[in-house]
A and B are shown apart, each in its own frame.
Chain A
Amino acid sequence: MKVLYSWLKDHVDIDLSAEEIAEKLNLSGTAVEGIVKQIDPQVIVAQIKKIEPHPNADRLQVAQVFTGLEELQIVCGAPNIKENQKVPLAQIGTKLEDFEIKRAEIRGVESFGMMCSDRELGLSDDHAGIKILPDDWEVGKSLNEYLTGDSVLEIEITPNRGDCLSHLGVAREISVITGNKLKKPETIEFSAGDNLNLKIENKELYPNYVAIQIENVKIGESPEWLKSRLLAMGAKPINNVVDLTNYIMLDLGQPLHAFDAKKVVGGIIVREARQHESIETLDGVERKLTQKNLVIADHEKPIAIAGVMGGKNSEVDDQTNSIILEAAEFKPSSIRATSKMLNLSTEASYRFERGIDSSLVEYAAKKAASLIQDICGGKVVAIEKITTENEPIAIEVEYEKINNLLGLDLDSSQVDNILLSLGFEKAGKSVLVPSWRNDVSLWQDLTEEVGRIYGFDKIKHLSVETEKLLNNKTYFNKEIIKNLLIEEGLTETINYIFMSEQDIRIAGISSSDLPEVKNPIQKENKYLRNSLIPGLIKNAAKNPAFEPIAIFEIGKVFSEKSETSMLAILVAGKNAKSLIDSIKDKLKLESEITKISEEILGRFKIRKSQVFALELSIDKAIKNMGEPDLGQALEAPVQSFYYKKISKYPPLTRDFAFILPDSVLSSEIEETVFETSDKVLLVEIFDEFSSTNFGQNKKSVAFHVYFQDTKKALDEDEANQLSKNVIDNLTSKFDAKLRD
């Protein structure tokens, strides 16, 4: 939610900057995610160098304006500018309240920006001329550096704190953390009748309802101050009555709605919708209702979906001269159900779902009515209300338990003072929860309130006993299997547990064997896998440049009734069969090895001579493993991960074999190759052996190198040059010789 810094000051005096307030709010539980200065930083201080009359328009002038970097030509209609003055310049691309500055041609003369008035900057209503800036402001600086312009605070309100979804609510938090008192609301009374013929069918579902009729209102545009506040909140001004209802909601947190009184037949009834009833809402959508939805109706038809959105049939329009203003409280779970069923979430439903302040319903309606009288004219002629008195919740203050949980030693008056500052009232050993705090009902809730206002940063850190409570061997065995497979040269992959229609068609799996997702929002997420192998085949298909491919995954597979942890291995390439055979033997895996058929390989476009896979449950895989060595299980791997940005263009692979002295470490070879060029992505040693054929103390080392270019596809010539560099580097650094 957004709040405007200057608007908060309507409710509480603030001596701190927006940034300082944001920091304090953050540490007391109101998360400020960002602060947006109201003036776009692209508005800068600029100096007028020259002014000439516009060749084609008497009222316009053409100015040359210096930005600190260049002179720009600006066409301007305001007569108050003079040469050498400093002015605010909105450069091309600047966003002002509701438009963006673009390069323009004005009566045949090009203009590269706009000089601004106070009003255009959202500073005040003054639109008499361009704002003239003091001489000592530096040309080229952002205007924000000089003007303390207003700030919008972006706040993330957690679902429990519906009371903070308003300026009043945030101001209340500020008053607690700064100690500045909240300003008292004015008393508003009207002398008016109560003959609105209001009926409520079920007071449990709709405990509070206030209706105020105002006659002789004049619908029109809102005054500037109102429009600019709404715009700052991202709300679009519509007309004065609608704008004021929105304004009060943003100010006090109470959603309001205005009906055109002439379109309401017979009086207002708050009731459940009838079966097969429907209503066209203000957004122009016809919505079918059920008995689970609450509506506001007149004696003929529904005129609004309660707490969610008004109806088209009772909308305030230009012809309206009499309105009925509604402020109400509805049961949160009912509004939430309706909003979900209709897939329609509004500012109003969002607040009703989280619970509003019952004690504020009537005041909000009256405050709005009074503003409407002031701004739109008209007179309040009738007020009718149906209200429910709520007993406040009482919680016994468990001072000792609160101190124990927090690890503090506060005396009872410190605890009481914090609670009183938050609006709780003392009642004997208990406190009464304020009407706006629907989230507080337990002593643990009070603990949080005390902690966050006292300051969690003052709490002493403690250590837990390190006595071991360990009994899960499977987990450790799984990690040991991973270690063994990695020693054999396999790489671990993690695949999605989902399969799409296309996946199962290609893999030849029947959908009836797979658990199905009811509500996937992406088509990839339709089914849950019943085997890890299709995922591994997809991985093989994705890596045509690698030879061999040797990968494994440990993860869950699913059936309608159960889920099982599995291990699957896939090896693809020339010696795939012997490789997978040896892995199976070494790990004593009791599993069949499957040859992936030519047909499947064709469908996945895999061009490897042999592809073999095996899959078995983890329970079966660890059966022959015995007691795990816990230390070994959680060891850091020999090869720790590193990330180098990968090109979107395919890599080119080159293989090398060198004869080198035995003393050269393979890591030194890798290092040398890597340092040849930043186009080296991977170095992979796949063969290393000594033989007297190479001479005394010599060995042969063979490796793949994967080259890439992040900006383009590499061509053969470049790859050949890179290969040559690799060879040169190795031969010069070590006593190395390329094998034929």
Chain B
Amino acid sequence: MTGNLHPISQYLRQTIKIFVDLGFDIFEGPEVDNEWYNFDSLNVPADHPARDVQDTFWLTNGNLLRTQTSNCQVRYAETRKPPIKAIFPGQIYRNEATDFKHETNIFQMEGLFIDKGVKVGHLFGTLKEFFQKIYGDDVEIRFRPSYFPFTEPSFEVDVKYNGKWLELLGCGMVHPKVLENMKIDPEIYSGFAFGLGIDRLVMLKYGIDDIRWLRSGDLRFLKQKQIKGVK
């Protein structure tokens, strides 16, 4: 009898392997973190409207549950020297009511690359390569300018899926203030960062209609598998 790897683990493996092959290190930061690493160091001060976008779980001791794997950016980079190249997979938390597409616990995977001469084209090229490996060489993707406080310029990445553009990922060039917080000189170095929402990609891949199945512990879900020859 063979057991079953959780679909999130299956998807993460495939994703992580692509970046490991591109030479990225893996770092899993803390899930309970402080305001500095989760917000302030990423150019999101307390009175910033961008904080509203993320409903935060605050703990009674003043710490918080990270709202994004970006909390690893400064933590990882401040003790290292460029070139810095790592992915940060892990679970993040949003304090909101749950329904078929909203969850309090979700997986993200952040990527960070900092070196001399890193350009927007490196970001585009890396993500294109990633989506080609996931969805095949003829995948269509587009980069739309957007806004995140910790990147400048910032982008949303859309992937064409069944004829429709789907927003799958946020990314951008690391903001100079974030580089400074990493103790890296933004006049010498530049870099890119991106964040993937894993649960949503898992749902898309397998056609899962309700995000809550993923944490249901229901073996009717977890034990399902592709059977050879059965469509």
Task: Indicate if A494 sits at the interface (CB-CB under 8 A).
Answer: yes
Question: Inside 8 A of B160's CB, which chain A residues have their CB?
Answer: none
| Alpha-carbon gap, A546 to B1, bound state (A) | 14
Task: State whether A469 touches B49 (Cβ < 8 A).
Answer: no
Task: State whether A492 touches B5 (Cβ < 8 A).
Answer: yes
Task: State whether A638 touches B25 (Cβ < 8 A).
Answer: no
The 6 closest A-B pairs by CB, nearest first: A29-B145, A448-B153, A539-B217, A158-B147, A461-B125, A489-B1
Q: Shortest CB–CB separation between residue A251 and chain B, in angstroms?
A: 22
Task: State whether B20 touches A470 (Cβ < 8 A).
Answer: yes
Question: What sequence of 0s and 1s flags, for each residue 532-574 of chain A, a beta carbon within 8 Å of any chain B beta carbon?
Answer: 0001001100110010011100011010100101000000000
Task: State whether A641 touches B206 (Cβ < 8 A).
Answer: yes
Q: State which of A407, A466, A487 has its C-beta within 8 Å of the C-beta of B2.
A: A487
Task: State whether B119 touches A682 (Cβ < 8 A).
Answer: no
Subset of 24 A-B contacts with CB under 8 Å:
A354-B49, A406-B121, A442-B152, A444-B153, A444-B173, A444-B175, A444-B176, A452-B145, A459-B120, A463-B122, A463-B126, A467-B83, A469-B85, A490-B3, A493-B217, A517-B59, A525-B57, A563-B30, A634-B13, A637-B4, A641-B224, A642-B226, A684-B1, A685-B1
| Alpha-carbon gap, A47 to B150, bound state (A) | 59
Task: State whether B121 touches A460 (Cβ < 8 A).
Answer: yes
Task: Indicate if B26 sits at the interface (CB-CB under 8 A).
Answer: yes
Task: State whether B216 touches A462 (Cβ < 8 A).
Answer: no
Task: State whether B3 touches A492 (Cβ < 8 A).
Answer: yes
Task: Indicate if A427 sits at the interface (CB-CB under 8 A).
Answer: no
Task: Indicate if A670 sits at the interface (CB-CB under 8 A).
Answer: yes
Task: State whether A681 touches B220 (Cβ < 8 A).
Answer: yes
Task: Indicate if B96 sits at the interface (CB-CB under 8 A).
Answer: yes
Known: A462-B121, A521-B97, A640-B225. A634 touches B20 (CB 8 A): yes
Question: What sequence of 0s and 1s flags, for each residue 105-138 of chain B, a beta carbon within 8 Å of any chain A beta carbon?
Answer: 1000000010001011110111011000000000
Task: State whether B147 touches A160 (Cβ < 8 A).
Answer: yes
Centre residue among B1, B96, B176, B214 by max chain A CB count within 10 A? B1
Q: Number of contacting residues on B, CB 8 A? A: 101
Task: Indicate if A671 sits at the interface (CB-CB under 8 A).
Answer: yes
Task: State whether A461 touches B119 (Cβ < 8 A).
Answer: no
Question: What sequence of 0s and 1s flags, for each residue 445-473 of chain A, a beta carbon within 8 Å of any chain B beta carbon?
Answer: 10110011000110111111111111110
| Other A-B pairs, 17, CB within 8 Å; known A337-B47, A456-B120 | A29-B146, A160-B149, A448-B153, A456-B145, A462-B121, A469-B83, A469-B85, A469-B86, A482-B5, A491-B223, A492-B6, A556-B31, A558-B32, A560-B61, A637-B13, A641-B5, A643-B207
Q: State which of B27, B156, B206 has its C-beta within 8 Å of the C-beta of A643.
A: B206
Q: Shortest CB–CB separation between residue B99 and chain A, in angstroms?
A: 11
Q: Number of contacting residues on A, CB 8 A? A: 114
Task: Indicate if A646 sits at the interface (CB-CB under 8 A).
Answer: yes
- B-contacting 9-mer, from A85-93, A202-210, A495-503: A495-503
A-facing residues in B1-30 (Cβ within 8 Å): 1-10, 13-14, 16-17, 20-28, 30
Task: State whether B147 touches A161 (Cβ < 8 A).
Answer: yes
Question: Inside 8 A of A493's CB, which chain B residues have their CB?
Answer: 6, 217, 222
Give the nearest-CB partner of A472 in chain B: B26
Q: State which of B10, B16, B23, B152 has its C-beta within 8 Å of the C-beta of A640.
A: B10
Known: A515-B32, A517-B57, A634-B13. A336 touches B3 (CB 8 A): no
| Alpha-carbon gap, A495 to B13, bound state (A) | 19
| Alpha-carbon gap, A405 to B149, bound state (A) | 18
| Alpha-carbon gap, A361 to B2, bound state (A) | 70
Centre residue among B56, B59, B153 by max chain A CB count within 10 A? B153
Question: Inside 8 A of B3's CB, which chain A residues have their CB?
Answer: 485-492, 550
Give the nearest-CB partner of B207 in chain A: A643
Q: State which of A462, A466, A551, A641 has its C-beta within 8 Å of the C-beta of B21.
A: A466
Task: State whether B23 touches A641 (Cβ < 8 A).
Answer: no
Task: State whether A516 touches B60 (Cβ < 8 A).
Answer: yes
Question: Inside 8 A of B93's CB, which chain A residues have their CB?
Answer: 497
Task: State whether B176 touches A31 (Cβ < 8 A).
Answer: no
Question: What sequence of 0s and 1s flags, for each residue 88-110 of chain B, a beta carbon within 8 Å of any chain A beta carbon?
Answer: 00010101111000001100000
| Alpha-carbon gap, A685 to B144, bound state (A) | 49
Question: Inside 8 A of B176's CB, which chain A residues have their CB?
Answer: 442, 444
Task: Indicate if B166 sits at the interface (CB-CB under 8 A).
Answer: no
B-facing residues in A627-668 (Cβ within 8 Å): 630, 634-646, 651, 667
Question: Inside 8 A of B219's CB, which chain A residues have their CB?
Answer: 491, 539, 542-543, 546, 549, 551
Question: Inside 8 A of B52's CB, which chain A residues have their CB?
Answer: 159
Question: Inside 8 A of B8's CB, which chain A residues have their CB?
Answer: 494
Question: Inside 8 A of A589's CB, which chain B residues have their CB?
Answer: none
Q: State which of B25, B60, B190 has its C-beta within 8 Å of the C-beta of A470.
A: B25
Question: Inside 8 A of B226's CB, which chain A residues have their CB?
Answer: 639-642
Give the nearest-CB partner of A675 in chain B: B230
Task: State whether A464 touches B113 (Cβ < 8 A).
Answer: yes
Task: State whether B24 touches A671 (Cβ < 8 A).
Answer: no
Give the nearest-CB partner of B176 in chain A: A444
Task: State whether A448 touches B48 (Cβ < 8 A).
Answer: no
| Alpha-carbon gap, A646 to B217, bound state (A) | 13
Question: Inside 8 A of B144's CB, which chain A residues have their CB?
Answer: 26-27, 29, 31
Task: State whether B105 touches A497 (Cβ < 8 A).
Answer: yes
Q: Shortest CB–CB separation between residue A709 and chain B, in angstroms?
A: 13
Task: Indicate if A518 sits at the interface (CB-CB under 8 A).
Answer: yes
| Alpha-carbon gap, A161 to B30, bound state (A) | 32
Task: State whether A636 touches B13 (Cβ < 8 A).
Answer: yes
Question: Inside 8 A of A644's CB, which chain B residues have their CB?
Answer: 224
A-facing residues in B187-231 (Cβ within 8 Å): 190, 206-209, 213-230
Question: Inside 8 A of B228's CB, which chain A residues have their CB?
Answer: 667, 670-671
Q: Shortest CB–CB separation between residue A613 and chain B, in angstroms?
A: 14
Question: What sequence of 0s and 1s flags, for each residue 306-340 of chain A, a beta carbon within 8 Å of any chain B beta carbon?
Answer: 00000000000000000000000000110011000
Give the nearest-CB partner of A540 in chain B: B217
Task: Indicate if B154 sits at the interface (CB-CB under 8 A).
Answer: yes
Task: State whether B142 touches A27 (Cβ < 8 A).
Answer: yes
